[in-house]
Structure 1
Amino acid sequence: MNTTVQQNITINYCFPDNNLSCIKVVHTGPAYIFLFILLSCLSVCTVFLNLLVIISISHFKQLHTPTNLIILSLSVADLLVGLFLMPVKIMQLVDTCWYLGKVGCYISPIINFLSMSASLYSLVLIAVDRYIAVSDPLLYRTRISVCKISVIIIVGWSGSLFYVFMYLYLTDHFHQSQIRCYGECILFRKQSSVILSLVIVFITPCTVIIILYSIIFKIARRQAKAFRSVNNGVSRIQRDTVPNSSETKAAKTLGIVICVYLICWIPFFIGSLSTEHIASVSIVWTVFGWFIYMNSSVNPLIYAIFYSWFRESVKYIVSCRIFESSSSRVNLFPERL
């Protein structure tokens, strides 16, 4: 039953006792071993870095702000990618068979699309949050609260989950009658559903994000000039009407997060228009999939580079000082003292 087609590649069957089993291709060459180790490290780093963000924002009371709660939501979506999706895709690089059965084949795209929808929803919230903070700081302080943002995030995740189920149901993913053999997992796509999803889930939200950030940076430039023209004798009330540099810096940092997201996701959506189904062993799916998975690893690195509070909180977490009774109330912004 076993034959060798070329060096370092052995062909077996996914389920030898089943006559309808798919052919199994096991890659054992040095390149695949190196890729397996590299991507495994990427998966571990993705989980570790996003856990640092989640623990930081959850533990330290000083970080319980509306903006950070949205970042927390984004990190949870990225954690799902590193914890569930990356390991599955890594194993498929070595062994092309699908061993998780029908249930696993149903759940995998649910987690995939849920993390995608929740990420984009979080980015839209970030854009709206930064727009209000920069354009009208007084309105932001009075109307945007932690409680309201928490409710909005929960509603957004619930809506994303509902959308994922409806999309997979309408594309007949839960009625996989066209599976060619056991050990295969295919995500079926109707062209009409793909186009509708592209408009609703990607083009429309991304257009909103780009428009809002264009307005944000115009306002930031205009108000930066106004701020520089304010002399030292201006009243405190007048100063409060001018957004401080931290708000503008936050807008720029989160703008980088959004740009990286678009760069990583655009190939996936373009590729979705060119095929009606994507098999688990598809090279196109593998390449585009790892583009979007890498985005989940990059976001925490952006926070580490631009946010001093993240670097400070990591020091407390790594040194296990967060287990101290008063650690949740520690000051992560010593420059504000």
Structure 2
Amino acid sequence: MMDGTWGPPLCFPDFNSSCRRLLLPRSESSLLYTLLAFVSLLTVTLNLLVIISISHFQQLQTPTNTLLLSLAVSDLVVGLLVMPIEGLRYIEACWLPGRLMCALTPYVSYCMLSASLGHMVLISIDRYLAICDPLLYSSKVTLNRVKISICLCWACSLLYNGCILMGHLGRPDRFSSCHGECVVVISHISGTLDLFFSFVGPCTVMVVLYMRVFVVAVSQMRVIQSQTAATKMRAAPTAKRSERKAARTLGIVIAVFLMCFCRYYSSALAGQDTSNSSSYFSVLSWLMLMNSCVNPLIYALLYPWFRKAIKLILTLRILQPHSQEAKIL
């Protein structure tokens, strides 16, 4: 039996079938662990601030913000559980948590990412109705309907990923070549279906709706501009700034989504099985995980109420009586 003294370092020295361990220089290992802790903590902190803000302040408890709250919950779980475990796997090149966690961790990761995608689609639908059909928005989009949509989103995510990972959940070690390895393989057929359900479909819906929102917003600003041009000649620059802001927001939403998820589906597009043991999978996986850190920046930090809420939270003013009734908007 080889151990760390007389042979290559092993993940589990007491097992003859143990996988080999990757020994990094201490400085490089420390840097990676520091970076992992920073990213995980940042993801948890940003999403926790969103959750506290919307849960505490009554003015923020709207249908749109309820979607942001549920999205932040899924992203919080990614930062709290998925990121540390996946980071440990790639830094140590060993799967140390055991067989049960090998089955559950990929499932939780896929569920959270799918739920995050579903919430982004719901948010795009919400914004579409708010801008393109403002007169009927309050009657169509109620808090109860939004809560039902959120529950359906979570239920579909749990059921869908259970079907995709059914084989792995039953036998998490069936593709492992040695002890200390957790390999998830998604067949080409499942990967192709996942490509359409988790990428092409949501991407198409978001692009179409946001493009419609952009066109309607621009047309509305031009109407306002034409109506005020006779009495206020400086209205034109305001309209141009609004058009640039709408275009920038649209570009950020779509670009981040594509950047974080499109490369993951390259295996399905190439007609290959998707495996987390591939040399490039770690990069693709972390691109998707980083979306959970970026989401609160896109959907929350752009709102002025979030900055106000952060000040009240960090200064502990939310502990004062009736602080939930504070004017945030």
TM-score bucket of the superposed structures, by smaller chain: 0.7 to 0.9
Q: Give 1:30 shift.
A: 2.4
1:260 aligns with 2:256: yes
User: Conserved in 2, the CA contact under 8 Å of 1:86 and 1:293?
Assistant: yes
Deviations 1:25-60 (A, max 9, x none): 232342332122122111111101110011111111
Q: How many aligned residue pairs are there?
A: 315
1:60 aligns with 2:27: no
1:86 aligns with 2:59: no
Aligned residue in 2 for 1:31: 28
Aligned residue in 2 for 1:312: 308
**Cα distance in structure 2, aligned partners of 1:204 and 1:116:** 15
TM superposition score normalised by structure 2: 0.87
Give structure 1 stretches of 5+ with no counterpart: 233-244
Q: Give 1:155 shift.
A: 1.2
Deviates more, 1:304-313 or 1:48-57: 304-313
Deviations 1:277-336 (A, max 9, x none): 5245x4312111111122211222234642110000011111111111211110012xxx
Aligned residue in 2 for 1:134: 131
Q: In structure 1, the residue corresponding to 2:23 is in which secondary structure?
A: strand
Q: Give 1:152 shift.
A: 0.8
Aligned residue in 2 for 1:326: 322
Pair 1:106–1:310, CA change in 2 (3 A): same
Aligned AA for 2:200?
I
1:69 aligns with 2:86: no
**Cα distance in structure 2, aligned partners of 1:304 and 1:221:** 23
Structure with bigger strand share is 1
Give structure 2 stretches of 5+ with no counterpart: 230-240
User: Conserved in 2, the CA contact under 8 Å of 1:134 and 1:219?
Assistant: yes
RMSD: 2.6
TM superposition score normalised by structure 1: 0.85
Aligned AA for 2:263?
P
Pair 1:283–1:21, CA change in 2 (3 A): same
Deviations 1:120-179 (A, max 9, x none): 11111111111111111111022211111011101110111010101111x555224332
Deviations 1:74-100 (A, max 9, x none): 211211111111101221233122121
Deviates more, 1:298-307 or 1:49-58: 298-307
User: Conserved in 1, the CA contact under 8 Å of 2:191 and 2:274?
Assistant: no
Aligned AA for 1:211?
V
1:300 aligns with 2:296: yes
Aligned residue in 2 for 1:199: 196
Q: Give 1:4 shift.
A: 8.2
